[in-house]
Amino acid sequence: MSKIRRLCLVLGDQLSWDLASLQGLDPQRDAVLLVEVMEEASHVPHHPQKIALIFSAMRHFAEALKQRGIRVHYVSLDDPHNSGSVPGELRRWHSLLQPQQLHLTECGDCRLEQSLKDCRLTIQWHSDSRFLCTRGEFSSWAEGKKQLRMEFFYREMRRKSGLLLNGDRSPVGGAWNFDAENRKALPKGAIAPSPMRFSADAITQEVLALVAKNFSGHYGALNTFDYPVTHADAQALWDYFLDWGLAAFGDYQDAMASDEPFLFHARISAALNIGLLDLRQLCSDVEAAYWAQRIPLNAAEGFIRQLIGWREYVRGIYWLKMPEYADGNEFSNTRLLPEFYWTGETKMNCMRQAINQSLKHAYAHHIQRLMVTGNFALLAGIAPSQICEWYLAIYMDAFDWVELPNTLGMVMHADGGYMGSKPYCASGQYIKRMSDYCRGCAYKVSESTTDDACPFNALYWHFLIRHSDRLRSNHRMGMQYKNLDRMPESKQQALWQRGQLLLANLDNGESF
Ligand code: SF4
């Protein structure tokens, strides 16, 4: 094998043409390395569809690189020489090819990045320019702040990107954030667009067979796989959303409905996170749709806020605070994750709907994650590491940089309020308001202490009571504690007892 100048390792979530480490590639002298490894596919039990998505997208990207004349070395999972880890493969190929330089773009997981830094090879690292805010810029913004707030960071990103600004740099519409207009429940008779599906080509079929053979012990369906695995298909999914979903996304992004897993959501987060779509292009398309009066401002601003606000914010926190951030456990939770998170076998209809669609599609939208499965974990005092692992494993779009701060910080408030000002705890009333789940439930959302009462209700009050010392002084929790204090002592006692019983049942491994 002839010696090469530059070997670029491209990871499974770095499948972008404009990846920093791929710039300046010389097809005559350079090569690209892609590796499917067991360690990354199984350090948590990733949903089989997620593994299939990444392997298939990697194989398609490798073919596309070859078509552009680039030399590609591809290691499949079942290659008998496969060492099983990314650093192992990098060492092996370094020894085989003896390149003059190794190039790599920053990873999306500090565990992997550290293992590559520890592998005794000289690597030229590139900043991940696919994000709007570099790690260093975020660190400068956060410096000296005891608590961070997304809203202020988001304004910086709006100014930096120039998105939805007037000529005088003020926000279009007179406000930075139209979140209050993004919380409508779905009206009766509303019809969401049918989800766009992609059938498996020969490459994907081969990957599906590989995944079925090697990951049969992982939770989640494989036969419902219908995700885009190429840039062109991801673009088609995006165009479909622009035409049919975005206009209503603003109003109904928080709504939930039985047997409607996608509603007006784009379902592009996985494609974006692995590099099949480009953040700046998506934002520019959304802004253009607004200026062309195809969508209302609350849809445009709401979507752009998710991308350049929340998404960049959680990434910034991840790289600023890891690895210590992963140990956060503000409420000292120790409870194990109930088995029904992995099976969907529960009488709580909201949980059954959110979990079963997650198992079927490796997808749930942000409110199902935050206010149903996440809310339950928060109220029930699940250990943060347990619920973080579940989110990382089960969702197609979950990579450590995005999953960990969202779950540990936002869902579980386990960072003590560093990233969010209050815990997102809610009773069954919130779920009733935002969905039709309660109508099909074995429990009564109007009850709190009876045997058939909605478990979220007693658990919500139990959570407030048991963490009163910590949370009562939080001004954003004032109304919730006022409501608690207004209750007769006997009612508070009954709620506490019911909460105790539910938690004891969870500890005994009972589903409810
Ligand atoms: Fe969920 Fe409670 Fe409503 Fe049942 S009654 S769907 S458990 S919120």
Identify the CATH number of the domain in which residue 17 sits: 3.40.50.620
Q: Which residue has the higher pLDDT, 488 or 2?
A: 488
Residue 238 lies in a domain: yes
- Radius of gyration of the chain, Cα coordinates, nearest whole angstrom: 24
Q: Shortest CA distance to 407 belongs to which of 362, 430, 373?
A: 373
Asked, for residue 47, whether it belongs to a domain, the answer is yes
| Domain co-membership, 227 together with 163 | yes
How far apart, in whole angstroms, are the C-alpha atoms of residue 210 and residue 28?
A: 33
Q: Residue 29 C-alpha to ligand 1 middle, in angstroms?
A: 61
DSSP 270-320: HHHHHTSS-HHHHHHHHHHHHHTTSS-HHHHHHHHIIIIIIIHHHHHHHHH
Please compute the mean of the pLDDT values over residues 143-162 and round it to a whole number.
95
Residue 242 burial (CB count, 10 A) = 18
Across 292-312, average pLDDT: 95
Mean pLDDT confidence for 348-353: 97
Q: Kindly state whether residues 348 and 480 are assigned to the same domain.
A: yes
Q: What pLDDT is recorded for position 2?
A: 56
Q: Which residue's alpha carbon is nearest to atom 2 within ligand 1? A: 454
State whether 152 and 288 are in the same domain. yes
Please say which residue of 276, 292, 327 terminates a domain.
327
The pLDDT mean for the chain works out to: 96
Out of 78, 96, 126, pick the residue that ends a domain.
126
140 and 120 within one domain? no
Same domain, 433 and 388: yes
SS3 state at 125? strand
CATH number of the CATH domain containing 391: 1.10.579.10
Residues 33 and 51 in one domain: yes
Q: Once rounded to an integer, what is the mean pLDDT over residues 10-25?
A: 96
**Domain final residue pick, 126, 157, 181:** 126
The reply to whether 218 falls in a domain is: yes
Q: Are 454 and 428 a contacting pair, CB within 8 Å?
A: yes
**Is 336 contained in some domain?**
no
What is the C-alpha separation between 52 and 48, in angstroms, rounded?
6
Q: Which residue is closest in CA terms to ligand 1's atom 8?
A: 428
Residue 223 pLDDT level (bands cut at 50, 70, 90): very high
Q: Kindly list the distances between the CA atom of residue 402 and the CA atoms of 310, 315, 327, 429, in Å, as whole numbers in the listed order.
A: 9, 6, 16, 29
Ligand 1: centre distance to CA 452 (Å):
10
pLDDT digits (tens, 9 = 90+) for 202-222: 999 999 999 999 999 999 999
Cα separation, 252 vs 181, in Å, equals 9
Strand arrangement, sheet containing 71-75:
71-75, 30-35, 6-9, 101-105, 123-126
Mean pLDDT score, 187-209: 94
Residue 440 pLDDT level (bands cut at 50, 70, 90): confident
Please say whether the beta carbons of 66 and 42 come within 8 A.
no
Judgement on whether residues 263 and 404 belong to the same structural domain of the protein:
no
Centre of ligand 1 from the C-alpha of residue 451, in Å: 13
300 lies in some domain: yes
Statement to judge: residues 408 and 264 lie in one domain: no
Average pLDDT over residues 445-471: 97
Judge if 17 and 74 occupy the same domain. Answer: yes
- Chain-centroid distance of CA 377 in Å reads 16
The minimum-distance atom of ligand 1 relative to the CA of 444 is 5
Ligand 1 closest atom vs CA 442: 4
Range of the domain at 44: 6-126
Domain membership of residue 426 (yes or no) is: yes
Please give the structure tokens belonging to residue 395. 């969702």
Question: Do 410 and 261 belong to one domain?
Answer: no
Determine which residue's CA is closest to atom 1 belonging to ligand 1.
350
Is the distance from CB of 218 to CB of 46 less than 8 angstroms? yes
Residues 89 and 172 in one domain: no
pLDDT band with cut points at 50, 70 and 90 for residue 433? very high
Q: ω into residue 323 within 30 of 0, thus cis?
A: yes
Is 325 strand, coil or helix?
helix
Residue 193: CATH number of its domain: 1.25.40.80
Pocket of ligand 1 (CB under 6 A): 348-350, 428, 431-432, 437-438, 441, 443, 445, 454-456
Taking Cα atoms as reference points, which of 74, 102, 106 lies closest to residue 6?
Answer: 102
Atom of ligand 1 nearest to the CA of 457: 2
Task: Tally the domains of the chain.
Answer: 3
318 and 193: one domain? yes
The answer as to whether 208 is a domain residue is: no
Is 204 among the domain residues?
no
Q: How far is the CA of 458 from the centre of ligand 1 (A)?
A: 12
Task: Give the predicted TM-score (pTM) of the model.
Answer: 0.96
What is the 71 CA–ligand 1 centroid distance (Å)? 55
